[in-house]
Structure 1
Amino acid sequence: MSYVFNPAPTVSVPVQGTADRFPVHRVYCVGRNYEEHAKEMGFTGREPPFFFLKPTDALVVVNAGETAAMPYPSLTKNLHHEIELVVAIGTGGKNIKAADAHKHIFGYAVGLDMTRRDLQNEMKKQGRPWCIGKAFDQSAPIGPITPLAAAGDIANAEISVQVNGQDRQRSNVSKLIWNIAETIEHLSAAWELQPGDLIYTGTPEGVAAVLTGDTMLGAVAGLEPIKVTITQGQE
């Protein structure tokens, strides 16, 4: 087979404790999936889950023990951090029942759903898609994937992000409005999940702006943390 140009290499994430890498298919994100975060964004209650996607090449892969660089993105003056537990799908399927969801999970990772909040808010006002606020280049830092069997009690794990050593977000995965299994059930009713899919499961309260020079340390108990520094961007 001949291509008109060389295809981009497969985006992949390291698997903790092995030399293997997890090839990424799609990146799904769940909106407003912690009650207190929903409230700080002006919403209340257990609304039906909703989803958006980020491009696979928006991932910033952070290797264990390293600090990744994320350039401050263009067009925004209000870049926000959103710490998230990421679910890595190892076995695909459609209309997966919540009771069977664990059979489809390969492992878990720590992720950041970086958001150009000013652009997202403007799109909301106009009733337009959020893509420019959510799906920009390098908007999805992620750490190594810990296989399911080694991840511990993820359903009750503490989740947090610090900026320059100070707490910004700190909560518990148990506070998800739609838990991991329920999220997989809803998501797989809309899309047929594939091996290599990543699901950013939502962020707790405390989202706030970061500036050039800030360093974020994201963590979920039992998983490899991630460290990301915001560097000078290019307009």
Structure 2
Amino acid sequence: MLKKIGIKDPEKQMLKLMESGAVPYRGVKQKDVRNALEERFEPQVLKSMTDEASLAKRYPGVPHEEAAYREMRRLTDELNSSDKGNLVEDWYERMYAQRRAGSSNRPESRQHQKVSAAEWNKNRPASEQIKKDRFIDRVDSVNIGGKEKPALHEIKSTKGKLQERDKEQFEDMMKVAKAERNGVEARGADGRMQKVDQVVYTLTDPRGVAKNEDWIVDQLTKYRNNLSFEVFDAQGKRMMIDARSLKRSKDGELVLPDGIRNRLGLK
């Protein structure tokens, strides 16, 4: 990936960082050394993914957001899921969350909200209890009926089916959003604190949407008043899907409409 953004001999540069002591490695766990090296190069990678001038040269005539998406995919599609997930989340933060944070009339935005299972589960019915500590990617917002409302926001870059641990995490997020009392609070667009009762689930890869289409429809049906999915097509155009997006098939089942399915390349 580093060679793709024009960094020459990245292996040699990493070795130099370790030998100089800039990135300690003696007696340090391999995972921690790797994370430290990634942190060193991440600003350059994110700049390649988001800088308007360089993206305009690489993708002439392509709108900035779409060009940034294509560059993100070019650089991350071959990474392992852990490295890819962290980098895509940081890309999303830079492309959308940071730019929106300065806008007027928007709810509070913050990253990595911890929900402690021990604290959360105190004096709650079993139906509201979560299985383990949860770290929600963002407390952000979603537009509902023309109004911005605070939302718990999870960002997934998977191209395959969600794993059971992902679905368990999702169910716990929905429990937090739907809790009748003492839920997560955030400052709304009007400046007042309010309970967060919405969840936005972002899938950045349309292949991941295709693999989880039935699950997405099931969750929108189950949590129709509290859930939205944000998805990207292959060109990098975003769209929001909620229960109002669904339609009845000839068999009477709720499904994604053909217009959305065609945009996402679903078969």
- Scaled to the shorter chain, the TM-score interval is under 0.3
TM-score by length of 1: 0.25
Q: Tell me: higher relative CO, structure 1 or 2? Use CA pairs within 8 A at least 6 residues apart.
A: 1
Higher strand share: 1
Higher helix share: 2
